[in-house]
A and B are shown apart, each in its own frame.
Chain A
């Protein structure tokens, strides 16, 4: 188990050190904007805010409401591409 733990830590470290994490983040952001995910989420946010009231909405409220829906709404193509890239990175640098 600790082996695995160490392994994960190393992988994460490598991802960050090599800048791959930032690249992946940026890629995901761009893809989500392109496919309309961001606009969908913003519309949902509007509803939540109207529900909670403009004055009293907090970050926590938003996070709790948005994140599950956001995870679910990511298109399959975007998800597959990202998984592919992560796997490629691991194959290249982890063994």
Chain B
């Protein structure tokens, strides 16, 4: 039903407002009346004053309204300023700091063992690096300190034999690099005590051709990221004048390479994928790896032997990573960059 004769302007608006207020008053009165009926019934039925029958308990549980105290009369920070004596070190510790102090003091918390390990490691580093200072002048100029790492890393490898991370990374790496890691005379992973001084040149070479080998200053761990085939070639010499792929292939072949079983089809596929990558002058491992593979693939057709497998393994690994898209230069231009 429509109200055509009710415009909303001028005096009618006030009428409308009056109507609204009237409706509102009606509603409020209705609520009051409802309350009255409710109370009256409670009075007549006798349950209105039921909660006021026991005067004693009423006084006992009366609401407290004092400052510094809650409505039950209890003090809020009563135990804040109290001190407790630690059963271990017999010191007086504040109550709020008692639990964390116990954790550290008894050596049972999550962080306390970590802190202790770190402290021990740094102590060893201090003592070790001081003794090796004369020998490792050059090395100490870099960020790494070789001498101390061995001991620090060894300790860490002892400690974390069963950590889930270690086994996971080993499994992951073993799948890709095959038996290369396990066949090495020394076990190395992200936890090993590796020292480059103790390894011979052959061992260092084989180590660095398969893995990254960068030792972090902070964690003293060696990076075990699988490296790329000609990384070692770059390490050995900054430039090599190889006019064709055959010589390059023969150069790569002396590398220690794992016995992996990627197929030739995989290698050719990988090489075609990477034939368009360019080789930068600096020692960038990923792009270098790509380039060498591309070169070998183009120049030498299908690769055989250990070098190919290492190249393939590295290719397959690097395909999984993200790379910047490079243009496709000719082979001669690649060599120009190298020279």
Contacts and interface: CB of A to CB of B under 8 A. Distances in A.
Interface of A: 3-4, 7-8, 10-12, 14-15, 21, 24-25, 28-29, 32, 38, 41-42, 45-46, 49, 54, 57-59, 62-63, 66-67, 70-71, 74, 79, 82-83, 86-87, 90, 94-95
Contacts of A49: 39, 43, 48
Contacts of B32: 41, 63, 66-67, 70-71
List of 8 A-B pairs having minimum Cβ-Cβ separation, nearest first: A70-B32, A62-B36, A67-B32, A45-B39, A94-B3, A86-B20, A59-B40, A63-B36
Interface of B: 1-3, 5-6, 8, 15-16, 19-25, 27-37, 39-40, 43, 48-49
A77 to B, nearest CB: 14
A15 B22 CA distance: 13
A32 B31 contact: yes
Given A63-B36, A70-B35, A4 B15 contact: yes
B3 A41 contact: no
B299 to A, nearest CB: 83
Contacts of A24: 27
Majority-rule SS of B interface residues = helix
A95 B49 CA distance: 50
B6 A25 contact: no
A82 B27 contact: yes
A58 B40 CA distance: 7
A51 to B, nearest CB: 13
Contacts of B1: 10, 14
